[in-house]
Structure 1
Amino acid sequence: MRAMGRRTPRTAAGSAALTARPPSAAAHDRTWAGEARSACGCAGTLLGLLLLIDFGAGTLTPWRGVLWAGLAGLLLVVLWPVRVSAGPGLLTVRGLLRTRRVRTDRLVSVRWSDGVSRRLVLRDADGGRAELDPRVLVANPPLWHVLDADARTSVARATLRCGETALRQVSARVERESALAVFRVSGLE
C-alpha cells in the first residue's frame, strides 16, 4: 500500500501512530507572505522616491545612490516579518538572522514582554525561548489551536509555572476575532 510516495505500515499499531499525529497538525502563518511583500514594497518605494527626488534635484551621484539603497535595505530589515510555524510539540519563529524554537509541550512560562509593542514570550524546560506578536496567533486560528493544545499538555504535566493568564487573554482575543469574522461573513455584523 502506497500513500504519497512512501510506504505505510500495515499493522494496527502503525496505523494508530499515523492517525495520532497527522501531517496536517502543522500550522503556518498565512499572513507572512503578504507582510513580506508589503515590506519589500515599502523599501522599494522609498528607494524609488529617494532616487527620483535626488535625480530631479540634479544631485544624484553613485555614492548617494548607494546611501539610498542602504537606507532602503535598512527599512526592509526593520519591516521584515518573522515566520511562525507550529507542529505538535514545537513552535518555530524564523527571523532574518536567527531561528528560535520552543517546545510547547514543555512550557515553563508564558508572559507578556514590556516595550513599545506587546510580545508573547514563551520559555520551555530545555531553555528554549521564542518571542512573537500575538496578532500572528489572532490572524491564524489553526496556529493558535496547535499552541493551545500543547500548552494544555504543559499545564497537565505541571511544567507551566506562570503564564496561564496570558494564554487565557490570547485565547479570548482569538475567539473574539473568530466570532467577529463569522458574523462579518454571514452578514450579521
Structure 2
Amino acid sequence: MGSGRLTGLRALMWVALAVLLLVVLVPPRVTAGEGWLASRGLLRRRRVRTASLVAVRWSDGVSLRLVLRDLDGARVEVDPRVLIANSHLWQLVDAGARSSLGRGTLLCGATALRQLSDRIDREAAHSPSTSSRAGVRRRPEGAGSGRRP
C-alpha cells in the first residue's frame, strides 16, 4: 500500500477525485435575456421563463440560493450574489418577475424578490463607483471637514 507506485486503481481514484472537485468547485454560469434566465453547470443546463414565473423562494441549505419556478415546471437555482454583482442581469430578471406579477402567474415570491431588490439597492448605495457616478463626491481619507477658518 505504501510502495509509492501508481497502480491502475489508484490512478482511477485520483481521476474520480479530480472530476468530483471540478463538479463541486466550478460555479454555474448564469445568463439571461428578455423573458428568460438560464443556469449552466458542467453537467446540465436549466432555464426558466421569467415572464411566466409561478414561485420565487429562498432555498433551505448551506448556501443561500434563490429558486425560480415557471409555469412549465422548470426550475433554476441562482446564487443571489450573481444578481447583486451584475445589475443588467438583475434588471432582466426583475422585468420578467414584474411581468409575471402583472399577469397574475407569480403567486408566491413577491417578498423574496423585494428582499433581494432591497439588498441590491443597499449594495449599490454603498458602492463607491455608483455613488461617484451619481454625482456624490467622497472626501479623501484624512481630509478635514471642508470648513475654512
User: Does TM, normalized by the shorter one, top 0.5?
Assistant: yes
Q: Provide, for residues 62-99 of structure 1, a one-character-per-residue CA deviation record: whole Å limited to 9, x for no partner.
A: 44344333322211111111011110001111111111
- CA-based RMSD of the aligned residues comes to 2.2
Provide the TM-score with structure 1 as the length reference: 0.64
The Cα shift of 1:185 comes to 7.4
Q: Is the 8 A contact 2:124 2:130 kept in 1?
A: no
Segments of 4+ in structure 1 off by > 6 A? none
- Number of matched pairs: 133
Q: 2:87 aligns with which of 102, 127, 141?
A: 141
1:99 aligns with 2:45: yes
Pair 129,61 (structure 1): closer, same or farther in 2 beyond 3 Å: same
Could you tell me which runs of 5 or more consecutive residues in structure 1 were left unpaired when the two chains were aligned: 1-56
Question: Equivalent pairs: percent with the same residue?
Answer: 58
Paired position in structure 1 for 2:30: 84
Could you tell me which runs of 5 or more consecutive residues in structure 2 were left unpaired when the two chains were aligned: 140-149
What amino acid is aligned across from residue 24 of structure 2 in structure 1? V
Pair 87,183 (structure 1): closer, same or farther in 2 beyond 3 Å: closer
Q: 2:21 aligns with which of 75, 97, 117?
A: 75
Paired position in structure 2 for 1:59: 4
Matches within 5 A, 1:1-189: 59-63=4-8, 64-182=10-128, 186=132, 188=138
1:97 match: secondary structure: coil
Which has a greater percent of helix? 1
What amino acid is aligned across from residue 154 of structure 1 in structure 2? S
1-side partners of 2:88 and 2:118: how far apart?
A: 15
2-side partners of 1:69 and 1:188: how far apart?
A: 52
Q: Provide, for residues 10-60 of structure 1, a one-character-per-residue CA deviation record: whole Å limited to 9, x for no partner.
A: xxxxxxxxxxxxxxxxxxxxxxxxxxxxxxxxxxxxxxxxxxxxxxx9714
